[in-house]
Amino acid sequence: MSNVYELHRTNGDPGRVATVLPGAGYTAMGPLLYHSRAALEGLGWTVRVVEWTGRRDFDEARAAAAELLEGADAPADGATHLVIAKSLGTLAIPVAARLNLPGVWLTPVLRHDDAADVRDAVTRLEGDHLLIGGTADPLWDHDLVSGLRADFVEVSGADHSLEIPDDWRKNLETVEDVTAEIEHFAASFDVG
């Protein structure tokens, strides 16, 4: 699938590996993913960052997720493998759930005609999953996530980029708060 994505890796603890799956238009350099990656690196994790090569459709993103999470380049058996995904990257939820991989799902695609598999997988999530979305995001589903056994964070007034229009101060605060939530979530997997 090298024509669909490039994989960049920072070396840390091989027993704790995070895979970062960006959105279609929200790259890993976007503030939510950039600072989450930095927080994980600060905790000593090995971080694998996906960069889409061009615009990807849902089927390509699903296939890439399967390859990245269970293919030959997937972390070794026994390693903690955390998935952090934004929007298009959250199409990995069904694969992650099937493989029992923990995940942080930023603005998951919960309301889209072509994402019924994601919605179905989300209804069965338990424990080691954190869903984060905004109340003004048309793809977010408050009623669905509030009934889950997985944790969720909801940002009031935030859109699909987890931004509040015309409020840069609140947006900086949101990035800081979300990064802290992700750092705390990842720290719960520390063995030592």
User: How many distinct structural domains can be found in the chain?
Assistant: 1
Q: Which domain holds residue 42?
A: 5-187
Q: Which CATH number goes with the domain that contains 134?
A: 3.40.50.1820
92 found inside a domain: yes
125 found inside a domain: yes
168 found inside a domain: yes
169 found inside a domain: yes
Q: Are 9 and 83 in contact (CB under 8 A)?
A: no
pLDDT at 76: 79
**pTM, 2 dp:** 0.95
Integer Cα distance of 133 and 78 in angstroms: 30
Q: How many helices (H) and strands (E) does the chain have?
A: 6, 7
88 found inside a domain: yes
Between helix 31-42 and helix 168-187 the angle, nearest 10°, is 30
pLDDT at 139: 97
192 found inside a domain: no
pLDDT at 108: 98
Dihedral over Cα of 156, 130, 184, 14: its sign: negative
pLDDT at 2: 62
pLDDT at 13: 94
> Cα separations (Å) of 107 from 10, 70, 86?
25, 23, 6
Integer Cα distance of 111 and 151 in angstroms: 19
10-residue block means of pLDDT along the chain (192 residues)?
86 95 95 97 96 93 94 82 97 96 97 95 92 98 94 96 96 97 92 54
Residue 169 burial (C-beta neighbours within 10 Å; 0-12, 13-18, 19+)? exposed
Dihedral over Cα of 183, 96, 163, 35: its sign: positive
pLDDT at 146: 94
Torsion of CA 108, 114, 116, 118, to 10 degrees: -30
